[in-house]
Amino acid sequence: MPADFAWIRPEPWGIHVVPADTWIDPARAVPHALVTHGHADHARGGHGTTVATPETLEIMDLRYNTREGAVPVAYGETVRLGGGVDATFLPAGHVLGSAQILLKHAGERVIVTGDYKRRADPTCAPFTVTPCDILVTEATFGLPIFCHPPIEDEIAKLLATLRDQPDRCVLVGAYALGKAQRLIAELRRAGHDAPVYLHGAMERMCRLYEELGVPLGELRPVAGTPRDAMRGHVVVCPPSALNDRWSRRLPDPITAMASGWMRVRQRARQKNVELPLVISDHADWGELTGTVEEVNPAETWITHGREDALLRWHQLHQRRARALALVGYEDEDD
Amino acid sequence: MEKFAALIDALVYTRGRNEKLRLIAAYLLRTPDPDRGWALAALTGSLDFPAVKSSTIRRLLMERVDPVLWTLSRDFVGDTAETASLLWPEPAEATGAAPTLAEAVEHLSRMTRASVAGELASLLDRLDAAGRYALLKLATGEMRIGVSSRLAKVAFADAFGVAVDDVEEHWHGQAPPYEELFAWAADGAPAPDARHLPLFRPFMLAHPLEDASVSLDEYAAEWKWDGIRVQLVHAGPPGETGETRVYSRSGDDITRSFPELAAAFQIPGIVDGECMVRGSHQGGEEGGAASFNALQQRLGRKTVSRTMLTDYPAFVRLYDVLHWRGEDLRALPWSERRRRLESLFAELPPSHFDLSQIIAAGTFDELAQIRARTRDDAIEGLMLKRRDSPYVAGRRAGLWYKWKRDPLLIDCVLMYAQRGSGKRSSYYSDYTFGCWDGDPDAGAELLPVGKAYSGFTDEELVRLDRHVRQHTVNRFGPVRETDRSLVLEIAFDSAHLSKRHKSGLSMRFPRVHRIRWDKPAHEADRIEALRALVRD
């Protein structure tokens, strides 16, 4: 790595912007944090100041009640961090409010993508390709076996199952922030106007999405709904509730899961999933490698996921790359 | 092929046994010959395409994708066929219609080691990812879809409304695609005649006794010997020389490994017994069987040298008789079959046959005491057989029980973990553990003594997997070396001297008995403790 980039240092607990003493997505409380998006492994409470997009701050506030020290920054807006470092937030296309963070210092440009994807998503702004010297990328699905199919196909599979077994419901496990809302928005786009039933843990986040301008159609809580009323309908819950006692109140549910991991049969089997839906909010192999080619950085840093394979790809394509050993990022629920 | 691929996929994701039966039966009912027969053969593991191996697939892929990326992907997926189906580069233009299942089987069976690379590739080019998965699973014969051969036969019986015992009876001797069998079950044609063929009959098996107790008036007790269960069959057309075959518990023909047993069994009949090797130092008065270790020298051999025959002489300890001189005895009660066995035993050469003894015990408590006193390496425990039980295929509740002796236990320290495959792919589920070679507080080292991949619950597996990931000190491909911090209480059946391990010791059937999250590693057992349990 060029020595010039000593101002930005990957540490086990996050990426440290040294001259500004600011951390990106730190895994523990710090005086100054920049947060790429609202997922729990990136956005933690307790920082002195938290710089993030207004949507991410709303999401964080919903989860941790963290109004204090919140500094909203809109997409495209630049903030001075001190120590001669500027930060610009750019859309990452991962979930509502998710951002890449472009850092500039002494003419050098570093982009931290956070989590991202390149596919269209009706619930968030699309990823923008921005030139930089160092691209700090995720690699959750960094293996060539991962190729997410068009989401329309997966939604059609879900709706066909619903039609074929009208006496049952389809219970979809989906991450409560982002995946659930994208799934519902895509169902609406496919013309599915029926009410969607929600696990209690989903309700507030869905409401927040709607308040922030993402319409989701008619949503009803599972709690208090008679079993028979849910036959032939879609029920959405967090993945952890799929095999939980909670689901016993549902009418003979068909267990589905919306996740990029569903591409691998044995992964679906491990989760007792009957209807795997390969839907991911992360970049697949083609998106990861395509993004590196488009952004064309002098060097790629890989934060978390299947970094070995992505490193190998860089080697095969004569590109510079290194893996950062960051702790605390979880990716199993996507 | 699409329908077969869809069946395989549906089976992968279906949990319930009844739902699996329904899916297979529905497929068999709506699919014509010969496809349904090939599918049944695939589900029962009856197909073998010698030219296609896991290594063939690996080589094929390595020519098309970077070897490092292949290996990383294969490690993650935990299944060669699935990895290949996902990584196969789709041809730019369509290359012809997808093959039918029968066409695929025909292609596969024609392939030779020289032609496989080209022919398999062109088949794969004609399929989508699900089709490629089904084809590769079919080709390598490892379906891993949670369907046993028995379940497939039950589904076949369900589909056509015939008895599964009849299916088992007529099954052996039939070859895929089983057109005669389908004609019998589906169209009421006469059952295939197999009287004069030396065919395998499914074994009668036992349930574990667990905590129950039984009355010895109703049940007889025998030792459960620690060899391999075998079935000897001699049959032939009337007036001609018959043929003898030796079958293993799974129905594999192992005659070539035990030619002396086949030669010694020349009367038309079928007997069931334990194949062991003679040994002078074990179970003295019963006729001297060596431990399983000695028998292992004889297993899996295609040819047996004269030295092998002299150094490790095999014999059969007879448990039961199914057929004798043309008479089917399976419907008789056990006590009557036993009487027949005792008298026919006199017709067999004592050099290669003896009789499993009935244990004399008045009461169940007395039997429990006998079991508790037994520490013989050739004895695995006790068998309890209902005196009026017919000889029926498989495990039938209440008829036969196995009552294994209590396992030996030792505290070991986790050293290495490897990712599992199939349902456990991505989990670190295979554990290598060791004992201290001295005082751990005085710098002693761990010596690996065994490997276990069972005995824990799914919840414990998740926790063990997390432990491995958080305590990794070294990585070697799919294997991680962990720090020496976790004590595993290992249960095993017996300890043996071994040249394979650095410790010079090996365990039979080790499994994780308890995970001692509470126990400091330096309090785990030393190697002497395990050595003291060796009875070789």
- Could you give the ipTM of this predicted complex? 0.93
pLDDT in tens, A263-292: 998 888 878 899 999 999 999 999 999 999
Sign of CA dihedral A75, A77, A80, A84: positive
Q: By a Cβ cutoff of 8 Å, what residues of chain A touch chain B?
A: 143-145, 147, 263-270, 272-276, 306, 308-309, 312-313, 316
Q: Is B397 exposed, middle or buried (0-12, 13-18, 19+ CB in 10 A)?
A: exposed
Measure B25 CA to nearest chain A CA, in Å. Answer: 19
Q: pLDDT value at position B252?
A: 82
Average pLDDT, integer, range A319-323? 94
- Judge if A101 and A129 occupy the same domain: yes
Q: Under an 8 A CB cutoff, do B76 and A272 touch? A: no
Count CB neighbours of B90 within 10 A.
Answer: 13
Q: Under an 8 A CB cutoff, do A267 and B425 touch? A: yes
- Judge if B257 and B243 occupy the same domain: yes
Under the banding of pLDDT at 50, 70 and 90, the label for residue B300 is: confident
Under the banding of pLDDT at 50, 70 and 90, the label for residue B536 is: low
Cα B221 from chain centre: 25
- Judge if A201 and A303 occupy the same domain: no
Sign of CA dihedral A105, A109, A115, A120: positive
Nearest to B324 by CA among B268, B273, B261: B268
- Any idea what the CATH number is for the domain that residue A87 is in? 3.60.15.10
Radius of gyration of the CA atoms of chain B, in A: 26
How many beta-carbon pairs below 8 A join chains A and B?
Answer: 68
Treating both helix axes as pointing N-terminal to C-terminal, what angle do B129-140 and B2-13 enclose, rounded to 10 degrees? 80
Measure B423 CA to nearest chain A CA, in Å. Answer: 6
Average pLDDT, integer, range B132-156? 89
Domain boundary among B140, B155, B180: B140
Count CB neighbours of B431 within 10 A.
Answer: 26
- Judge if A10 and A95 occupy the same domain: yes
Under the banding of pLDDT at 50, 70 and 90, the label for residue A300 is: very high
Half-sphere exposure of B395 (CA within 13 A, CB side): 8
- Judge if A187 and A224 occupy the same domain: yes
pLDDT in tens, B20-62: 999 999 999 999 999 999 999 999 888 989 999 999 999 999 9
The amino acid sitting at A140 is T
Domain boundary among B404, B439, B473: B404
- Any idea what the CATH number is for the domain that residue B283 is in? 3.30.470.30
- Token pair recorded at residue B334: 């056990």
- Token pair recorded at residue B23: 């899916």
CA distance B222 to B358: 5
pLDDT beyond 60 at B281: no
- Token pair recorded at residue A304: 């978390």
Q: pLDDT value at position A238?
A: 95
Let me know if residue A329 belongs to a domain.
no
DSSP B258-323: -HHHHHH--SSEEEEEEEEEB-SSSSGGGT-B--HHHHHTTTT-SS--HHHHHHS-EEEEEEEEEE
Q: Under an 8 A CB cutoff, do A306 and B65 touch? A: no
Residues B387 and B214 sit within 8 Å (Cβ to Cβ): no
Cβ-Cβ contacts under 8 Å, A309 against chain B: 68-69, 72-73
Q: Which residue has the higher pLDDT, B483 or B210?
A: B483
pLDDT beyond 80 at B95: no
Can you tell me whether residue B418 is helix, strand or coil? Answer: strand
Let me know if residue A266 belongs to a domain.
yes
Sign of CA dihedral A40, A45, A49, A55: positive
pLDDT beyond 90 at B430: yes
Average pLDDT, integer, range B408-431? 86
Nearest to B75 by CA among A327, A306, A196, A269: A306
Average pLDDT, integer, range A38-47? 89
A82: left (phi over 0), alpha (psi -120 to 50) or beta: left
pLDDT beyond 60 at A295: yes
What does DSSP say about strands B269-277 and B228-235: parallel, antiparallel, or unpaired? antiparallel
CA dist list (Å): B44 to A11, A266, B135, B155, B160: 53, 20, 15, 11, 17
Question: Of A99-108, B48-57, B165-174, B349-358, where does mean pLDDT reach its minimum?
Answer: B165-174
Q: Which residue has the tokens 């036959």?
A: A231
- Judge if B275 and B338 occupy the same domain: yes
Radius of gyration of the CA atoms of chain A, in A: 20
Under the banding of pLDDT at 50, 70 and 90, the label for residue A327 is: low
Cβ-Cβ contacts under 8 Å, A267 against chain B: 425-426
pLDDT in tens, A167-219: 999 999 999 999 999 999 999 999 999 999 999 999 999 999 999 999 999 99
Q: pLDDT value at position A256?
A: 96
Residue B523 is part of which domain span? Answer: 408-531
- Judge if B331 and B476 occupy the same domain: no
Domain boundary among A243, A258, A277: A277
Under the banding of pLDDT at 50, 70 and 90, the label for residue B443 is: confident
- Judge if B457 and B337 occupy the same domain: no
Cβ-Cβ contacts under 8 Å, A276 against chain B: 13
- Any idea what the CATH number is for the domain that residue B14 is in? 1.10.3260.10
Residue of B nearest to A308 (CA): B72
Q: By a Cβ cutoff of 8 Å, what residues of chain B touch chain A?
A: 9, 12-15, 65-66, 68-69, 72-73, 76-79, 82-83, 86-87, 133, 146, 422-427
Q: Is B373 exposed, middle or buried (0-12, 13-18, 19+ CB in 10 A)?
A: exposed
pLDDT in tens, A53-101: 999 999 999 988 778 899 999 999 999 999 999 999 999 999 999 999 9
- Judge if B349 and B471 occupy the same domain: no
Cβ-Cβ contacts under 8 Å, A269 against chain B: 12-13, 146, 423
Under the banding of pLDDT at 50, 70 and 90, the label for residue A2 is: very low
Average pLDDT, integer, range B439-450? 90
CA dist list (Å): A96 to A333, B136, B163, B175: 17, 41, 59, 59
Closest partner residue to B87 among A144, A268, A312, by Cβ? A144
- Judge if A162 and A230 occupy the same domain: yes
Q: Which residue has the higher pLDDT, B336 or A13?
A: B336
Q: Under an 8 A CB cutoff, do B12 and A270 touch? A: no
DSSP-assigned beta bridge partners for residue B386: B219
Let me know if residue A332 belongs to a domain.
no
Q: pLDDT value at position B349?
A: 96
Measure B385 CA to nearest chain A CA, in Å. Answer: 38
Residues B450 and B432 sit within 8 Å (Cβ to Cβ): yes
Q: Under an 8 A CB cutoff, do A266 and B87 touch? A: no
- Judge if B258 and B355 occupy the same domain: yes
- Judge if A16 and A141 occupy the same domain: yes
CA distance A157 to A170: 11
| Secondary structure in 3-state letters for chain A | CCHHHHHEEEECCEEEEHHHCEEECCCCCCCEEECCCCCCCCCCCCCCEEEECHHHHHHHHHHHCCCCCEEECCCCCEEEEECCEEEEEEECCCCCCCEEEEEEECCEEEEECCCCCCCCCCCCCCCCCCCCCEEEEEECCCCCCCCCCCHHHHHHHHHHHHHHCCCCCEEEECCCCCHHHHHHHHHHHCCCCCCEEECHHHHHHHHHHHHCCCCCCCEEECCCCCHHHHCCCEEEECHHHCCCHHHHHCCCCEEEEECHHHHCHHHHHHCCCCEEECCCCCCCHHHHHHHHHHHCCCEEEEEEECHHHHHHHHHHCCCEEEECCCCCCCCCCC
Q: Under an 8 A CB cutoff, do B13 and A268 touch? A: yes
Residue of A nearest to B130 (CA): A265
Let me know if residue A157 belongs to a domain.
yes
CA distance A149 to A276: 12
- Any idea what the CATH number is for the domain that residue B438 is in? 2.40.50.140
Residue of B nearest to A276 (CA): B13
Nearest to A35 by CA among A13, A51, A16, A11: A51
- Token pair recorded at residue B526: 């030393």
Residues B254 and B248 sit within 8 Å (Cβ to Cβ): yes
- Judge if A36 and A104 occupy the same domain: yes
CA distance B389 to B319: 14
- Judge if B298 and B335 occupy the same domain: yes
- Judge if B335 and B254 occupy the same domain: yes
Cβ-Cβ contacts under 8 Å, B66 against chain A: 312, 316
- Judge if A53 and A156 occupy the same domain: no
Q: Under an 8 A CB cutoff, do A274 and B15 touch? A: yes
Average pLDDT, integer, range B166-172? 85
Could you tell me where the DSSP H helices lie in B111-209? 116-125, 129-140, 149-160, 164-171, 179-187
Q: Which residue has the tokens 């192999």?
A: A285
Q: Is B391 exposed, middle or buried (0-12, 13-18, 19+ CB in 10 A)?
A: buried
Q: Which of the 8 DSSP states describes residue B474?
A: E
Average pLDDT, integer, range B225-252? 90
- Judge if B241 and B363 occupy the same domain: yes
Cβ-Cβ contacts under 8 Å, A273 against chain B: 13
Under the banding of pLDDT at 50, 70 and 90, the label for residue A234 is: very high
- Judge if A138 and A267 occupy the same domain: no
pLDDT beyond 50 at A1: no
- Any idea what the CATH number is for the domain that residue A172 is in? 3.40.50
What does DSSP say about strands A22-24 and A14-17: parallel, antiparallel, or unpaired? antiparallel
